[in-house]
Amino acid sequence: MVDLKTKKPEFHPPKTPVDALAYWQKTRDSHIASAEALFATQFEAFEKWVTAAEESIKRGNKIIMFGNGGSAADSQHIVAEMSIKLHKERSPIAALSLSLDASAITACANDYGFSEIFSRQIRTLGYEGDIAVGLSTSGNSENVLKGLKKAKRMGMTTVGLTGKSGGKMPPLCDIMLHVDHTDPGRIQEMHIMLGHMFVGVLEQRLGLV
């Protein structure tokens, strides 16, 4: 019987030393190229996202965000910037992330399947006129796709933040923002930057700062 308390992980050091500087420089170049491509191509979609959100919030609606793994964390991060603040003291912006309720997520996954965890919550919490923002680096996450599909059927404006191809998201989204990369790390870095810019412009459009 294996003693889990004393068992150590097995490490397999590389035969040649890892060049940290080369990795650093490669990541830097990749990050900069991703940002430059984003700024060169995605402003029109960004402007549409901000405008749709401004109109929605002014009507008394809200912004709902959702994704898996790192994209779930990104959704929570961006929602926190809206509901609390980005830089200055201001009134909150109505927003929520669907990855926060562990009881709802696990109950839905258990009873209906993991692919339904977002669509079920959108059906519960969403209203016509809300903004539904799905994050998926591949654009093929089934639960995100089902969430967007449900939101669209309910009369919500659907927004997709994704990677290079967009996967299966485009037909389900009124607004699409693409990061021209296939590496989830680069894509998520750009999603956070987009989120910060989105909140920064939105709070000014709403006259909150």
In a domain, 139, yes or no: yes
What is the pLDDT at residue 209? 74
181 inside domain:
yes
Domain ranges, residue 155 = 43-205
Phi first, then psi: give them for residue 158, nearest 5 degrees: -105, 135
Mind spelling out the 3-state secondary structure of the chain? CCCCCCCCCCCCCCCCCCCHHHHHHHHHHHHHHHHHHHHHHCHHHHHHHHHHHHHHHHCCCCEEEEECCHHHHHHHHHHHHHHCCCCCCCCCCCEEECCCCHHHHHHHHHHCCHHHHHHHHHHHHCCCCCEEEEECCCCCCHHHHHHHHHHHHCCCEEEEEECCCCCCCHHHCCEEEECCCCCHHHHHHHHHHHHHHHHHHHHHHCCCC
Position 135 in a domain: yes
Classify strands 95-97 and 63-67 as parallel, antiparallel or unpaired: parallel
Cβ-proximal residues to 151 (8 Å cutoff; 6+ apart), any chain: 64, 122, 126, 130, 132, 158
**pLDDT for 4:** 61
What pLDDT tens digit does each residue of the chain (209 aa) get?
Answer: 556 666 777 888 888 888 999 999 999 999 999 999 999 999 999 999 999 999 999 999 999 999 999 999 999 999 999 999 998 899 999 999 999 999 999 999 999 999 999 999 999 999 999 999 999 999 999 999 999 999 999 999 999 999 999 999 999 999 999 999 999 999 999 999 999 999 999 999 999 87
- What pLDDT is stored for residue 2 in this prediction? 55
Q: Is residue 167 part of a domain?
A: yes
31 domain residue, yes or no: no
pLDDT of 5 reads 65
CATH of the domain at 90: 3.40.50.10490
Tell me if 21 is assigned to some domain. Answer: no
Residue 34 lies in a domain: no
Q: Are 163 and 187 a contacting pair, CB within 8 Å?
A: yes
Phi, psi of 70 (to 5 degrees): -60, -35
CA-to-CA separations, 160 to 29, 70, 147, 176, in angstroms, rounded: 26, 15, 11, 5
Q: How many domains does the chain have?
A: 1
